[in-house]
Structure 1
Amino acid sequence: MTEAVPLTETHRPTEARPPEPALLGQRTRPHRPDAEAGTDSAPPPRSLPAGLLRTARPKQWVKNLLVIAAPAAAGQLFTVHALTELALVLALFTACAAAVYLVNDARDAEADRAHPTKRHRPVAAGQVPVPVAYAVGGALAVIAPATAAWLTAPAVAVLLTAYLVMQLAYCVSLKHVLVVDLVVVTTGFLMRAMVGGLALGIPLSRWFLITTGFGALFMVSAKRYSEAVQMAGTAGATRALLTEYTTGYLRFVWQLAAGVAVLGYCLWALGEGGVPHTSVLPWRQLSVVAFILAVLRYAVFADRGTAGEPEEVVLGDRALSLIGLAWLAMYGLAVANW
């Protein structure tokens, strides 16, 4: 007679259990790392030419329209020779700026990959290889001044070369030097405003240079101030120097620059200069009102710490855009003496 064997855990029959919904979902749904990554997933690959174009910052090209400032101020803009020459200078300056952007992004590729926003730049994302960025940037840096020396006034080639040397030095080291970084970026705006006059042989007024230079310093320092305000209390900053600048100092700089720019413009607009005026209204004097309103409106964004790229501030605010158009209209009427 066989001895009954007790039913132990190892011998107990297991009950058939329905698969759990979570497990069932895992079995039936393929694993998709990109979907789980959400916004951190890498952007879809694009072509190399598109990546090079993005690296050249097309949105920043609007700054290069400053090349028409001096000819417009002198009333020498609407001639075939002027328009042809300015179109060429605009293209050459855009090529120089693109060269600087390409070299800058190639140098900063490793650091940009650790940045939450800059890691999507084409070079940092791998869409544009670093050697290609260096090669295209170097080629543009050589071709643009050489073309200027061949087709335009010698002073234009000298200015473009000086711009490239200064901006590349900025990419390498000058952007880490207090105050000098502000001066270099401001000088870049001033060079844009000067090159059109040099191309057409137009004498540059001292008031034009003062207003343009300090107006550019106003916008540059306001942008730095906004970055410092937005990064206050965080672990790091988008620019290394923001940890060394104080918001009080940057506020002082943009307020000083705004005041000097307004003073320079007023001295130009309210001074007679021996030029007869036959227009119906004193458009030159009236343009002071629009200019001051534009500075005051821009200062609102600077004070709030939301003054980013100048073109985005101007185009993103309807009131500021309308004030700017009103100023352009009065300025144009003053130059045309209507």
Structure 2
Amino acid sequence: MSERGTVLLDLPDRPGRRRSGPFARPRARTLATGLLRTARPRQWVKNLLVAAAPAAAGELDSLHNTTHLALVFVLFTAAACAVYLVNDARDAEADRAHPVKRRRPVAAGEVPAPLAYTVGALLAVLAVAGAAALCNALTGALLTAYLSMQFAYCLWLKHVLVVDMAVVTTGFLMRATTGGVALGIPLSRWFLITTGFGALFMVAAKRYSEAVQLAGDKGATRALLTEYTTGYLRFVWQLAAGVAVLGYCLWALESDGGPGSGGGASLLPWRQLSMIAFILAVLRYAVFADRGTAGEPEEVVLRDRALAVIGLVWAAMYACAVAGL
């Protein structure tokens, strides 16, 4: 009330008028948080695969290579975030029918779909341009191929039987090869076989888990699951696991005279001994696949302590093999 007795009413803003002042901050903060959640920070751990080829070649012993690899990780993460944003914007309606995915910011209405498309396109352009300018042209071309394939997956390929799993698997394989390409490291056939089929093992296990958990409402969440049978998906992940183990064992048993090859340079055959830890890791992950609880691979890897310990033991053995101890 003013001095003259006039009551001052706090009228609401007119429709379409932007609220300013402290009331605008919560909305901006909500959008920023929603965009970050849509970019899936928990899944950024997958992009650590860019270090796989340099680590396998023993090329992480210099500050230059490590710094360059960190840059590659950031660029690939930006590209992956672009795919997540576009995918969630396009699948918002289907995600609302999913018991878990309906909480995603775009599906829940926290982030407008046009904004997700815009930010995704911007990140894609920055990732490719940054890779071409700061790494090399081949790295930029590889990121362009990755983005093209993933966007095609969002629009069409996710509805093509078997091809959908091949595309997701290739995405993992591209992560593992990008680091080597950026640093100019040759990629061995055993590395590509083990990485490729290891990725297919996890992808097929994820599909199998989704088919088991959503057996009563598959069509509303991922339509292609109605075309797969649990028996077929089980066959795929078992086959992929077997080929991945075989590829790794052939690499470990191969004597090439290089660092950690198990020859005279090492006190112990670390490369061969690492087979034990690798096989145990595959068997441990297969437990979750068999139960139908491997729907979120990053959750399995990050939360299972036994798998983490096995992974650390394998990493220690592999490091000793590369160092020739």
| TM tier, smaller | 0.7 to 0.9
DSSP 3-state at the match of 1:78: coil
Match of 1:62 among 45, 49, 53: 45
Report the counterpart of residue 305 of structure 2 in structure 1: 318
Contact 2:47 2:77 in 1 (8 A): yes
In 1, distance between residues paired with 2:302 and 2:218? 31
In 1, distance between residues paired with 2:239 and 2:151? 28
Amino acid at match of 1:293: L
Amino acid at match of 1:323: I
Contact 2:157 2:163 in 1 (8 A): yes
Report the counterpart of residue 94 of structure 1 in structure 2: 77
Deviates most, 109-118 or 253-262: 109-118
Contact 1:211 1:261 in 2 (8 A): yes
In 1, distance between residues paired with 2:109 and 2:298? 28
Report the counterpart of residue 309 of structure 1 in structure 2: 296
2:211 corresponds to 1:224: no
Report the counterpart of residue 267 of structure 1 in structure 2: 250
Structure 1 runs, 4 residues or longer, greater than 3 Å off: 233-237
Deviates most, 240-249 or 270-279: 270-279
Distance 1:200 1:289, change over 3 A: same
Deviation at 1:312, TM superposition (A): 1.1
Report the counterpart of residue 110 of structure 2 in structure 1: 127
2:248 corresponds to 1:244: no
Report the counterpart of residue 14 of structure 1 in structure 2: none
Match of 1:152 among 135, 156, 165: 135
DSSP 3-state at the match of 2:152: helix
TM-score of the superposed pair, with normalisation by structure 1: 0.84
Trace 1:34-113 onto structure 2 (pairs within 5 A).
47-113=30-96
Amino acid at match of 2:121: G
Match of 1:286 among 253, 265, 273: 273
In 2, distance between residues paired with 1:209 and 1:106? 33
Report the counterpart of residue 174 of structure 1 in structure 2: 157
Report the counterpart of residue 334 of structure 1 in structure 2: 321
Deviation at 1:234, TM superposition (A): 4.1
Contact 2:281 2:310 in 1 (8 A): yes
Contact 2:47 2:76 in 1 (8 A): yes
Deviation at 1:146, TM superposition (A): 0.8
In 2, distance between residues paired with 1:302 and 1:174? 24
Deviation at 1:232, TM superposition (A): 2.2
Kindly report the root-mean-square deviation, in angstroms, between the aligned alpha carbons of the 2 structures.
1.4
In 1, distance between residues paired with 2:308 and 2:113? 38
Deviation at 1:321, TM superposition (A): 1.2
Deviation at 1:115, TM superposition (A): 3.0
Amino acid at match of 1:76: E
Amino acid at match of 1:106: A
Amino acid at match of 2:223: A
In 2, distance between residues paired with 1:210 and 1:219? 14
Identity, % of aligned positions: 77
Contact 1:231 1:237 in 2 (8 A): no
TM-score of the superposed pair, with normalisation by structure 2: 0.88
Return 5+ residue gaps in structure 1 as ranges.
1-43
Larger radius of gyration: 1
**Residues 81-132 of structure 1 deviation map (CA, whole Å, 9 limit, x = unaligned):** 1111101110000000000011111111222233332222111222211111
**Residues 116-154 of structure 1 deviation map (CA, whole Å, 9 limit, x = unaligned):** 322221112222111111111011111110111111021
**Residues 58-86 of structure 1 deviation map (CA, whole Å, 9 limit, x = unaligned):** 00000000000000000001211111110
Deviation at 1:207, TM superposition (A): 0.1
Deviates most, 210-219 or 141-150: 141-150
Distance 1:151 1:112, change over 3 A: same
Trace 1:6-25 onto structure 2 (pairs within 5 A).
none
Amino acid at match of 2:312: L
Distance 1:239 1:277, change over 3 A: farther
In 1, distance between residues paired with 2:62 and 2:75? 20
DSSP 3-state at the match of 1:164: helix
In 2, distance between residues paired with 1:235 and 1:310? 20
Deviation at 1:308, TM superposition (A): 2.0
Deviation at 1:235, TM superposition (A): 6.4
DSSP 3-state at the match of 2:221: coil
**Residues 9-37 of structure 1 deviation map (CA, whole Å, 9 limit, x = unaligned):** xxxxxxxxxxxxxxxxxxxxxxxxxxxxx
Amino acid at match of 2:104: R
In 1, distance between residues paired with 2:229 and 2:267? 49
Deviates most, 79-88 or 232-241: 232-241
2:133 corresponds to 1:136: no
